[in-house]
Amino acid sequence: MQFESFAGVDILLAMTPVAERRWNWLLWAGFLLSVLAFFSYFFFFVQFPLTRNFPWVNLLLFAFAAGFLAVGIRRAFRRSELYRGKALGPILAGLTVLIFGAFAFLMFIVARQLPSSAGAPRAGAKAPDFTLMDTGSKPVSLTELLTAPVHGAAPKGVMLVFYRGYW
Partner 1 sequence: MGEFEARGIRVAAISVDPPEASRDLCSKRGYTYTFLSDPKAEVIRRYDLLDAKAGEQNLARPAEFLLDSSGTVRWVNLTENYWVRATPEEMLQATTLMR
Which residues make up the interface to partner 1 (CB under 8 A)? 46, 49, 52-55, 107, 110-115, 117-130, 132-137, 140, 142-143, 145-148, 150-151, 153-167
> Which residue type is seen at 141?
S
Q: Is 9 helix (H, G, I), strand (E, B) or coil?
A: strand
Nearer to partner 1, 1 or 122 (CB): 122
Assign residue 60 a region: left if phi > 0, alpha if psi is -120 to 50, beta otherwise? Answer: alpha
Q: How far is the CB of 142 from partner 1 (least distance, A)?
A: 7
Strands, DSSP E only, in 1-88?
Answer: 3-6, 9-12
φ, ψ at 154 (rounded to 5°): -60, 135
Nearer to partner 1, 16 or 131 (CB): 131
Nearer to partner 1, 82 or 132 (CB): 132
Nearer to partner 1, 15 or 109 (CB): 109
Q: How far is the CB of 58 from partner 1 (least distance, A)?
A: 11
> Which residue type is seen at 58?
N
Q: How far is the CB of 106 from partner 1 (least distance, A)?
A: 9
φ, ψ at 112 (rounded to 5°): -95, 0
Q: How far is the CB of 54 from partner 1 (least distance, A)?
A: 8
Q: Is 88 helix (H, G, I), strand (E, B) or coil?
A: helix
Q: How far is the CB of 80 from partner 1 (least distance, A)?
A: 43
Nearer to partner 1, 19 or 114 (CB): 114
Q: Is 153 helix (H, G, I), strand (E, B) or coil?
A: strand
